[in-house]
Structure 1
């Protein structure tokens, strides 16, 4: 090798011709002639020019595509064969110099900067734009299937280009994290998840990765190289055999090589016990407040009407019911009788099961007794007069009852547990709301009773769903410990009263959806990644059984999880693979493994990394981290952490990607992150984190559960709600088209968009507000509400009438379409808000206008100015 080369040039030899050629490590330029000092200086100028273009967002000349594997300079027989020249043979990087070459490949996106000062965000871009595309190296996958990489609704990353070193991640300040929704709902028109039924499961012998579209076949197809750890593994003998036709088959048609999301039917060795039946234990509070609010009657009627839709295809489902007030009321449900027998246990310190049989019964065999009990449950306790609730003791008894099987405990309570084990005190104190002590109300009380109980539940494969009906104080912060650590869900109904049809319908809808949804039982989840990549921290509802194994007694549909990623060593591979595997039992008794695979390219180029940032995924991660910070420290610390992280990201972008230093009147960021400040401003104005002395701790705690469990698709409108103008919407809005009902254009969340004669819809997935201006014309009021004048409208929860006119049909269609478009079981209330009506209701609706000032929160323009000033002052690391 020549030793007289200019700096940054290396000499290589073409093995087919023996001729030497030279590569510049700065620019990837290659040539046959010995480079001179002038050539080196020219290369440096070219590199500097490229960097300057990247900094200023100017378009760069696309790099030539890179030849495929096994290319050898001068080897005319291979793909892209021929002598390397400056124009057609740049090398990708020295560590992968002859791999992943393809003359038809496209250059990766680079960051295009945008100045946010004075920029008017387009709300439609926040919801409609997908994350930056994943641009893998050519032939990274053995399949050309469009489903070979995970769709972002199942798994997405905060960065769609993975930095090659941890120091680079730390420098750029954008956290690397994976957002998981492995059991998201399947929309109409979507294909079902492919199920592989032949029980031929090929896994890596070392890291236990499942075969996927990113493996490589070796030795004539008899072995495959793992995409995670690169170990060579044998291909199973039956991998190329179709057991249905008993004929050889093309392996490249197998689902696991063409789809990123698949389910394997597991053989017996994946089971530690026979598949458990679905088990539902209903714990219903029958204290005075629960009976009087109509909660008991509504819950009983909903369960009764949903019995046929509870998963029970194989007739194995078991149920039990415990009524709770000052004592525990068990029900003996004999299979050959329609008359249940009530057994009362008054010992709250050491509860026992009054009979070993007929408390947990088969749903099909005891259907008559179950229906009779549910039909008469409310009347049985109509004379309840005390405020006592022994729900903590009832939970212990339920765990004892269904522990041998596992399953789901569904708690319905409108009374704070105040007697027996796990008794709680009303600790609400309006004097500390909005102070530094407020975070104490967001931490569980009770000496760890509910967290310890949650651990016992997880060990027994039991999850808990909490349906909490707002008495003056419910202590959501404490009771939600059970769903949090058992992969359950929390549902909160403040001020519930079944005499309001809207309250009854919301409860019936959500409870029936939860009951009838298929559930994955006794599940464990693990996330694997390419060697050198480690999951360092997890967020969501589960219990961490070991460092990387998440225990989930049941896996609800449309619940999200986050995994933060750390690089333990530098990456020298062109792409990395993240694979999530969830081993579970279906509700009809089949053991399965759901596998979700995501591949992402790597790079050390900051411009490419910034251009790959997914602002929605970043907002999802920061929402989880902010909630955890508020519960372990102070709400103020959580808000400051969000602000500081945003300042760090933008400040580092300024220093890395723009040429000028020092103070600037601009606020520059890559175009794909232009909405991140708006989303995080919405996070800070959400009632889960908002600075206010008027938010009850129950409402704040429930909002925080939503911030940490909603899938990204539902979380984004919860952070930045949608606003539609209905009185002057386009002619096609509210009408059916080939793609479904057409929604009006979204408007910016500011009062400046409101007209005094207008009708507007504001919604965040949890509440909907119909805002009507003080000068609305009588005809609009008549067409939509069937009332003659604006003065006849009563603000509050409403059900829109469906009238015989076009405007009513369009408005009803838009309201229903928006409700149905959100993932999850939630049915948001619709509130009518008059511009000159109830001040508290008006203030609530205005709090959703994120771009305006509200209470102590900044407007969007003030928020951007604050970010710019902090960056100019160097207030970032």
Structure 2
């Protein structure tokens, strides 16, 4: 009987061979088309023909389709019977990143007969004798995981993102068998990006017609084996999407009279998503009536007209990312574009003759979207619709189009962003309105002088740096007269278990020390004369300041005080500012947990790392008590911001509680693990300069206004929220951003010509002490179509809002709820798109992604396995620190943190010697046609980013990875000796010192360019990124590999289903969930 069956199957083989199809070809709408079968050849030679994708602005059809392996299609195809050996030898090593196949059964079934897979699929693999190079041995799993996920791996601890690792690495990338190409399993087509479209992914070979209707045989391959046909190069690539976005906007930018191309943020681009955050720095941005995306970035550029339409999207967020003090950049050079200042005045809104013209009802500031009536005698508000009489001093006639004749000369009528002077008392907050004259803001440096601070070198380091560099980095502002430069006043105090004030009045011959030991009710001891003794002009008291900073390390060199305070320091400083009606910032340089018994704000040791990664971790990561929260709100009300530098050793400092001071007051937070002045000195000094120089706004009040039918429902990102869409802060650092959630109050008008308006007004005190208001206006289109919402979605703004909302949820309900708040919208958005925007004839085996959101899966997967959301192997303080940072980030910082920049740098500078000893293909992938100038910046060098995967690393290459917090320089084992000599002064990788945090200063072009590149990255991130030099097998390599977010996390099995999975695993999981929701 078995022999007869074999004969019968053998006779059917020619018929099966005649029914083979050619690979499917896709047109611009994503519909597959049958073509004539090509001549038989190896699957690696069958190049797929694709057409270029339509740009999003012109795209009307369905987006690119993601063809998943057969295991995830509705009908898995069976394997035809085998009558001859497979055409390719079996593979002894599984593909990199996948687990070995299950061991064979001890008694294999005698029937059905053996079969081989369809054409283009690899044959069944024999049992693996040893794991791939660089990975630990794996044990056969005891149970099968859910479909779409590989067997769980043994948990491995990994260091935090931004902190040194506690142990040796677990893996390192294997060297490629041939130079220039990563190792590929036999039987698979080699990856090729020549014809790759980032929004299209197809099967590696064609299917045979009719086979999918048959039942699968008993010996069908496991899902893990079938999953291997999905190669990472076939998935949407973040790198390709970012490059395509830049090219598209550069090609579509408006051509100015000077021949340069500008991106215009105005009526010309209303309803279209702005450039991605990675493209903004490379474009020349022009304000043409709507705020630049640097200041206000919407999640949807086309707002749905009803709340039901928004709900039907499955999770699309409607909101704004607002960074009002962010410095705008132009032409990729990183230079600042000054906000234009308007001298707008009049008697509108019921004010005096010199008040600002505003809407009489909603108090909105002037914008290009006000309608002028009655020949210019009245204007209609674009936000609430109220009509306000135009002040006589602000009146102007209208032209034939209904616009004011002076619109071209009034900045508030033609720009989306502008500033106004606000000298009236109505624009002062609190008790500051009682002072006739506003003094310049003050900056106070509070230096810890306890035993821990002195012996770690913190006290001496800070005093020495301030003495040498304070005049250089203290910011200044031009006075209203246009000639005088005004800088903030400065003050100094030290503390351990008491507070030491210093009188630095210019009339004294030497500094005077005043000690406050009353910790129950701390106060400023200088009384009414504090404005002349504690806060002083830097130039007038330069000699006394120099004497003080030189004497402090000597005075406390032999201290034995180990108990420290913190709350009384802030309270005493707050009393000093309120006594003279001044505003400003307090810079705290602190070393540990406040443990003084008699001081308010004492904290107890409550660290329990066993709770991290469990549902009880929210109690550990949440602030304890309400003292520091109430103190931070008092500081915000009084116009005092707080910057906190936590320079602790390995001891617990309760960053979750202390971090409320900068989080609510609008300051910045910095933390240095195991601080030592010799290792962290440069980093602390640089961060201190950036923190002081980047804060230009004090005593802030910000309000978000929206047009009728839309309102602000919530604000994420810190600060003191005092009302709907209203927040207050003692200061507003330039790198701080908030995420604003919007909601529908009523149905929007069906008129396409009536946009939705949003206005951010920030009232603040500048460095000169004068009040100003910075206004940002944004116009958005409305739509009644779900497809328009998807076309206008912005992935960067969406993820920033989702992350900040999820972090707030983590503290309330735990980590699983927070991660689900990220994954569920991802699945829901793609499900709704498949249900409502894709033709019914599309195959269920295709994962179809919207053009604007095709990076949503890779970004969400990187977020849920980041240390901010699941860092169970890091310290509690490190986890809290990362959570605070993510909550305060703008869209640029969050993008680079969750998907780090990985760039090959071994071809800097381009030279014949380097090209001769390195792979030429790598040169084309790594560096473009950049200039060879030693002073070139990132844009001039034209560095090419590569995907964050270990498969992209080559042993003859050098790669720079940065995520906005930390930076790595990874050296392959076969790096050119010429490159090593020019950068490190050694001829072997083994001789490179990996304990150094700065590159050697050599007089070579390569050394100058690499150091220039590192400095440029630190400047752009507005933070000193500590550099780690990594070699294969070093202790830092496992930490470095954790940032390759497209790979599987080392502790995958410890994270539950899906957490820590690779990009491939997560994409298959998302597709499985979509198919489940669609039935």
Partner of 2:368: 213
Query: Matches of residues 39-54 of structure 1 in structure 2 within 5 Å?
Result: none
Aligned to 2:447: 284
Name the counterpart of 1:517. 694
Q: What is the CA–CA distance in structure 2 between the aligned matches of 1:702 and 1:643, rounded to whole Å?
A: 23
Contact kept, 8 Å, 1:136 with 1:601, in 2: the verdict is no
Equivalent residue, structure 2, for 1:507: 684
Contact 2:938 2:1013 (8 Å CA) reproduced: no
Aligned to 2:241, which of 114, 121, 125?
125
**CA deviation profile, 1:203-232 (whole Å, cap 9, x unmatched):** 111111222112222222332221112222
Q: CA deviation at 1:286?
A: 0.9
Residue of 365, 374, 394 corresponding to 2:569: 394
Q: Does 1:193 align with 2:342?
A: no
C-alpha contact (below 8 Å) 2:296/2:322 kept by paired residues: yes
Deviations 1:757-813 (A, max 9, x none): 221111111111011122334333222211232222232442112333343334333
Deviation at 1:731, TM superposition (A): 6.9
- In the TM superposition, residue 750 of structure 1 has moved relative to its aligned partner by 0.4
Question: In 1, Cα distance between the equivalents of 2:677 and 2:269?
Answer: 59
CA distance in 2, matches of 1:138, 1:771: 45
CA deviation profile, 1:307-333 (whole Å, cap 9, x unmatched): 354345566844332211122222233
Establish whether residue 115 from structure 1 lines up as the match of residue 65 from structure 2: yes
Shift, 1:134, TM fit: 9.7
Q: Which runs of 5+ in 2 are unaligned?
A: 1-25, 33-55, 69-233, 250-262, 272-284, 347-355, 398-403, 478-484, 907-922, 1053-1059
User: CA 1:693–1:113 in structure 2 vs 1: closer, same or farther (change >3 Å)?
Assistant: same
Question: Which residue in 2 is equivalent to 1:271?
Answer: 427
Size of the aligned set, in residue pairs, is 763
Residue aligned with 1:251, SS: coil
Match of 1:679 among 848, 859, 872: 859
How far is the alpha carbon of 1:146 from its aligned partner? 4.8
Taking the aligned partners of 2:848 and 2:456, their CA distance within structure 1 comes to: 54
Deviates more, 1:259-268 or 1:539-548: 539-548
Judged with a 3 Å threshold, the aligned counterparts in structure 2 of structure 1 residues 684 and 195 are, in CA distance, closer, same or farther, namely: same
Give 1:282-361 correspondences, 5 Å limit. Answer: 282-304=445-467, 305-307=469-471, 309-311=473-475, 317-356=488-527, 357-358=529-530, 360-361=534-535
Tell me, yes or no, if the aligned pair for 1:768 and 1:828 is still in contact at 8 Å: yes
* Aligned equivalent of 1:533: 710
Instruction: Quote the Cα distance in structure 1 between the aligned partners of 2:541 and 2:1012.
Output: 42
SS in 2 for 1:593: strand
> Is 1:169–2:310 an aligned residue pair?
yes
Q: Which whole-Å CA distance do the structure 1 matches of 2:371 and 2:592 have between them?
A: 59
- Deviation per residue, 1:359-380 (Å, 9 max, x gap): 5232244332222111222221
**Aligned to 1:566, what secondary structure does the other structure show?**
strand
Q: CA 1:738/1:680 → structure 2, altered by over 3 Å: closer, same or farther?
A: closer
Following the alignment from structure 1 to structure 2, what is the Cα–Cα distance between the partners of residues 186 and 149? 14
| SS of corresponding position for 1:821 | helix
How far did 1:730 drift? 3.6
- The structure in which a higher percent of residues are strand is 1
Contact kept in structure 1, 2:956 and 2:972, CA below 8 Å: yes
Q: Report the 3-state secondary structure (helix = DSSP H, G, I; strand = E; otherwise coil) of the residue aligned with 2:845.
A: coil
Match for residue 835 of structure 1 among 1032, 1041, 1048 = 1032
Alignment of 1:580-659 (within 5 A): 580-659=760-839
Counterpart position of 1:560: 737
- The 1:253/1:111 distance shift into structure 2, 3 A limit, reads farther
Task: Say whether the 8 Å CA contact 2:270–2:301 is kept in structure 1.
Answer: no
Which of residues 394, 418, 426 in structure 2 aligns to 1:262? 418
CA distance in 1, matches of 2:894, 2:270: 32
Q: Show CA shifts across 1:515-570 (max 9, x none).
A: 23352122211111110110000012311122232112212112111110001100
Work out which of the residue numbers 466, 470, 489 in structure 1 matches 2:648.
470
Report the counterpart of residue 570 of structure 1 in structure 2: 747
For residues 1-12 of structure 1, the aligned pairs below 5 Å read: none
Q: Is the 8 A contact 1:741 1:817 kept in 2?
A: no
| 2:16 match | none
What's the secondary structure of 2:1010's corresponding residue?
helix
- Cα distance between partner residues in 1 of 2:502 and 2:854: 58
Counterpart secondary structure, 1:153: coil
CA RMSD of aligned residues (A): 3.0
Give 3-state SS (helix, strand or coil) of 2:840's partner. Answer: coil
Query: Is 1:525–1:551's contact at 8 Å kept on the other side of the alignment?
Result: yes
Counterpart in 1 of 2:952?
A: 753
Are 1:790 and 2:936 an aligned pair?
no
- Distance (Å, rounded) in 1 between the aligned partners of 2:514 and 2:610: 44
Q: CA deviation at 1:403?
A: 2.5
C-alpha separation in 2, matches of 1:858 and 1:661:
31
Q: In the alignment, which residue of structure 2 is the partner of 1:713?
A: 892
Aligned partners of 1:341, 1:136: CA distance in 2, in Å?
57
The secondary structure found in structure 1 opposite 2:1073 is helix
Find the partner of 1:485 among 664, 673, 677.
664
* Cα shift at 1:198: 4.6
Whole-Å separation in 2 of the counterparts to 1:643 and 1:138: 35
Please give the secondary structure, in 2, of the residue aligned with 1:562.
Answer: strand
Task: Go from structure 1 to structure 2 and tell me whether the alpha carbon gap of 1:833 and 1:589 turns closer, same or farther (over 3 Å shift).
Answer: same
Q: Does the aligned pair in 2 maintain the 1:303–1:512 contact within 8 Å?
A: no
Name 1:225's counterpart in structure 2: 380
Question: Are residues 682 and 739 of structure 1, via their aligned partners in 2, closer, same or farther at CA, if it must alter by over 3 Å?
Answer: closer
Q: For 2:460, what is the secondary structure of its paired residue?
A: helix
Give the equivalent residue in structure 2 for 1:75.
none
Separation of aligned partners in 2, 1:773 and 1:264: 55
- Describe the SS at the equivalent of 1:848: coil
Partner Cα separation in structure 1 for residue 592 and residue 793 of structure 2: 45
Deviation at 1:354, TM superposition (A): 3.7
Judged with a 3 Å threshold, the aligned counterparts in structure 2 of structure 1 residues 386 and 663 are, in CA distance, closer, same or farther, namely farther
Task: Indicate the residue corresponding to 2:295 in structure 1.
Answer: 154
Q: Is 150-159 or 205-214 further displaced after alignment? A: 205-214
How big is the shift at 1:663? 8.5
Structure-2 residue corresponding to 1:62: none
Q: SS state of the match for residue 747, structure 2?
A: coil
Q: Establish whether residue 814 from structure 1 lines up as the match of residue 1013 from structure 2.
A: yes
Indicate how the Cα distance of structure 1 residues 651 and 429 shifts in structure 2: closer, same or farther if over 3 A, else same: same
CA contact (8 A) 1:278 1:407 kept: yes
Contact 2:497 2:565 in 1 (8 A): yes
The separation in 2 between residues aligned to 1:429 and 1:655, in whole angstroms, is: 46
Please tell me whether the aligned partners of residues 442 and 535 of structure 2 are also in contact (alpha carbons under 8 angstroms): no
Secondary structure at the counterpart of residue 723 of structure 2: coil
List per-residue Cα deviations over 1:267-292 (Å, max 9, x = no partner).
42533424352122222111112112
Distance 1:794 1:239 in 2: 67
1:399-438 map, 5 Å: 399-404=574-579, 405-419=582-596, 420-438=599-617
* Closer/same/farther in 2, CA of residues 435 and 584 from structure 1, 3 Å limit: same
Give the C-alpha shift of residue 437 in structure 1: 2.0
1:453 corresponds to: 631
Alignment of 1:852 with 2:1074, yes or no, is no
- 2:313 matches 1:363: no
- In the alignment, the residues of structure 1 paired with residue 1029 and residue 267 of structure 2 have an alpha-carbon distance, to the nearest angstrom, of 53
TM-score after normalising by structure 1: 0.82
Distance change in 2, residues 1:475/1:54 (3 Å): farther
Shift of 1:481: 0.6
Q: Superposition pairs for residues 709-788 of structure 1, below 5 Å? A: 709-727=888-906, 728=923, 729-730=926-927, 732-733=929-930, 735-736=932-933, 740-788=939-987
Match of 1:33 in 2: none
